[in-house]
Amino acid sequence: MSWILAAPIIIPFATAVLAFLFRHGPEGRWISVLGSAALLVSAAILMTNVLAGGVVAAQMGQWPAPFGITLVADLLSAVMVVITGITGLAVAIYALADVDERKEQLGYHALYQVLLAGVCGAFLTGDLFNLYVWFEVMLISSFGLLVMGGNRQQLDGGIKYVTLNLVSTILFLSGIGLLYGMTGTLNMADLHSAVQNVENPGLLVVVAVMFMIAFGVKAAVFPLFFWLPASYHTPAISVSAIFAGLLTKVGVYALFRMFTLVFTTDVAYTHTILLWVAGFTMVTGVLGAAAMNDFRRILSFHIVSQIGYMILGLALFTPLALVGAVFYLVHHIIVKANLFLVAGVARRIAGSTELSQIGGLYKTAPLLALLFLIPAFSLAGFPPLSGFWAKYVLVKAALEDGGYVIAGVALVVGLLTIYSMTKIWGNAFWKPHPAGVHPTLSSIAPKDLAALILPIAALATLTCIIGLFPEPFIQFATASADQLLNPEAYIQAVLGADAPGLALAEVTP
Amino acid sequence: MELLVAIMVGVLVAASVHLMLARNVLRFLFGLVLISNAANLTIFVAGRLTPESPPLIPYDADVPVADVANALPQALVLTAIVIGFGLFAFALTLVYRTYQNLGTLNSDEMRLAEPEDDTHVAAENKTYIAREAGQ
């Protein structure tokens, strides 16, 4: 059983080693594509196992939980690994045409695979300190990818990204130390019951807030998001896309895990903070985007704004809200990575990502216009697309919970999202090109064009499928939210059937 | 003993916050080193301090005979030190390269990625079309 859980971590690492060895030839990039495809297959196998048999857990090195390192996958972990596989493969194909040889020789593909390994490890681990280690794996490879090539803007953005993320890891580490001091365990399933017996519940809330800040920096929530719009528009397009799709979502996932499984002792306090954070994150993100005039910078601020919706689902902490949040998480990764990929193609044929410098794409590259329209309007929440269902469920959950103000905020932010998407549309697609250039897709070499358009089209199709047939996805999100709110199955899978905390495992929403 | 270590952690954090609030990025990094050591000490003291009882099991026994020090926090701290060292080495190199390229360590002057006046970015981005056309 354990290899099913370990494969999504081992495959990218093995691919990274091979890709590094072959970094001087064209083999390296194809190894990266093959490795990402293998990751997707292993993720699919994991998903079928979790769907068929419930939560899957394995103890690494045969050390029994809670002493050893546990890998565990419930529905949320499994779907996150699958999405990592999908996005990873799409961006690896895109990188065939996007990443130049100099970066390949510096080890781009190896770092990229290490990044995927770190992300999958963070989704699959059931041990808090191990989560810290995966965060570091992810961080160090993202540092490398971000500043690779070393132009001045990259270094400038890199400084802010590196310093603020390092502060967050220190807070995470201190939180781990204090939590261990109070409970004597670091296994997340074991912590669920151990925190109920802590002598000083007030101190536990302090530690909970430390974790909230640490993961909040990673997830880029208000007021901790400043590193994101400073850095995400500077690296290569494929790096931007994978960062935008996956990295902040690891922070969101960690918040979900900790604040449904461990820190549920004082929901009224902690989740109220999260609710305020969610509201401010949505508003500041979308206002920041409205002020920007660059394709990628608008999209970067929208990441922040969209994170607010996911945190909103966690903060409301009702079954329906968590359904919306899980659905939103899945939909958002696909859409956001895709928008960055489109921005890359637009830059390639029109010459810039600065909206005042480009134009005319609708007339001369209608296919690209269509491929932009799908993720852009999905992000804004137009009815037949996936974003509509995600927002609909969340707003409905907020209204049912009596949160009329936050529901109103969510709707207004949706409107403002449309505003900045139409700004991109009007400037990059409708307006004639200021330099008189007629940007066409045929100006790209056919081989490159396939590598660029194929992943965009595939992700757009996926967005349409989720939008047109939302029922199975909503059902999946419902089952996943149910597992989050009733973690008995998770605890039983990790600790065994006679786990001491099972009697206490009732979470009241 | 715990109190002494706790006070030491407090002093380290205070000093590091002072350093990290500076505009100079290098001072920020030194603050980061101090605060990461404070975090390591926090983990160490959270595992309870038990002096003079090393976690050693006699050769002919399966379990320790007397109360011994908790080995887990030490293992955690060791891991955290190694990771922290690697990250610090990277950060130091990054700061050095940034200083070489931008000619400043003042974080207020680092406005290349987010210029106050957005037209500068537009001007620099123009280079792309020449490069792509040249391929």
pLDDT in tens, A431-445: 888 887 788 888 888
B25 contact A CB<8A: yes
Question: How many CB atoms neighbour CB A6 within 10 A?
Answer: 17
Which residues of chain B are within 8 Å of residue A129 when distances are taken between CB atoms?
Answer: 76, 79
A139 touches chain B (CB under 8 A): yes
Q: Which residues of A touch B39 (CB under 8 A)?
A: 170, 173-174, 177
Cα–Cα nearest to A81, from A122, A110, A112: A122
- Rg (chain A; Cα; Å): 22
Who has greater pLDDT, B126 or A130?
A130
pLDDT of residue B133: 39
Residue B122 has pLDDT above 80, yes or no: no
Q: pLDDT tens digits, residue range B60-80?
A: 888 877 778 888 888 899 999
What whole-number percentage of chain A has pLDDT above 90?
Answer: 58
pLDDT for res A498: 63
Q: Which residue has the higher pLDDT, A408 or B103?
A: A408
Q: Are B122 and A229 an interchain contact pair (Cβ–Cβ within 8 Å)?
A: no
Alpha-carbon gap: A136 to the closest alpha carbon of chain B (Å): 7
Question: Stretch A42-68: mean pLDDT, rounded?
Answer: 87
* CB atoms closer than 10 angstroms to residue B35: 25
* pLDDT of A500: 54
- pLDDT the model gives residue A336: 93
Residues comprising chain A, all counted: 509
The answer to whether A49 faces chain B, any CB pair under 8 Å, is no
Chain B residues 85-124 with CB within 8 Å of chain A = 86-87, 90-91, 94-95, 97-98, 101-102, 107, 110-114, 118, 121-122, 124
Q: Which among A155, A231, A292 has CB closest to B97?
A: A155
Are the CB atoms for A125 and A69 separated by under 8 Å? yes
B131 and chain A: CB distance < 8 Å anywhere? no
- Looking at residue A508, its pLDDT comes to 41
Residue carrying the six token digits 């697609």: A429
Please check the confidence at residue A504 and state whether its pLDDT lies above 50.
no
Residues of B in contact with A348 (CB under 8 A): 128, 132
- Assembly ipTM: 0.85
Distance from CA of A132 to the nearest CA of B (A): 9
Contacts with A153 from chain B: Cβ below 8 Å: 112-113, 124
Measured between CA atoms, how close is B76 to chain A, in angstroms? 8
| CA distance linking residue A391 with residue A393, whole number of Å | 6
pLDDT of A506 above 70: no
User: Touching check for B63 and chain A: CB below 8 Å?
Assistant: no
Whether A189 contacts A65, CB under 8 Å: yes
SS3 A184: coil
Residue pairs spanning A and B at CB distance below 8 A: 133
B20, B39, B113 member nearest A177 (Cβ): B39
Residue B80, chain A, CB below 8 Å: the answer is yes
pLDDT(A117) > 90: yes
- Within 8 A of B107 by CB-CB distance, chain A residues are 159-160
Residue pair A344/A358 in contact (Cβ under 8 Å)? The answer is: no
Distance from A419 to chain B by nearest Cα, in Å?
20
Helix (H) or strand (E) holding A57: strand A56-59
- Provide mean pLDDT across the span B1-22: 92
What pLDDT was estimated at residue B69?
81
Q: Which residue of chain B has the CA closest to A448?
A: B135
pLDDT of residue A499: 57
Chain B interface includes A166 (CB < 8 A): yes
Question: A356 and B122 in contact by Cβ < 8 A?
Answer: yes
Residue A178, helix vs strand vs coil:
helix
Secondary-structure breakdown of chain A: helix, strand, coil percentages, each rounded to the nearest 5:
80, 5, 20
pLDDT at site A507: 43
Closest-CA distance, A159 to chain B, in angstroms, reads: 7
CB contact under 8 A, A163 and B91: yes
- pLDDT averaged over every residue in chain A: 89
Closest chain A C-alpha to B10 CA, distance in angstroms: 12
- Which DSSP category does A220 fall into? T
Instruction: Collect all residues of chain B within an 8 Å Cβ-Cβ radius of residue A231.
Output: 113
Overall average pLDDT of the A410-427 stretch: 90
CA nearest neighbour of A9 among A33, A37, A42: A42
This prediction's pTM? 0.91
User: In angstroms, what separates the C-alpha of B39 from chain A's closest C-alpha?
Assistant: 5
Q: Is residue B82 within 8 angstroms of chain A, CB to CB?
A: no
Judged by a CB distance cut-off of 8 A, whether residue A422 touches chain B is no
Mean pLDDT over A283-312 rounds to 91
Q: What percent of chain B has pLDDT over 90?
A: 42
A162 at interface of B, judged by CB pairs closer than 8 A: yes
Tell me which chain B residue has its CA closest to the CA of residue A158: B94
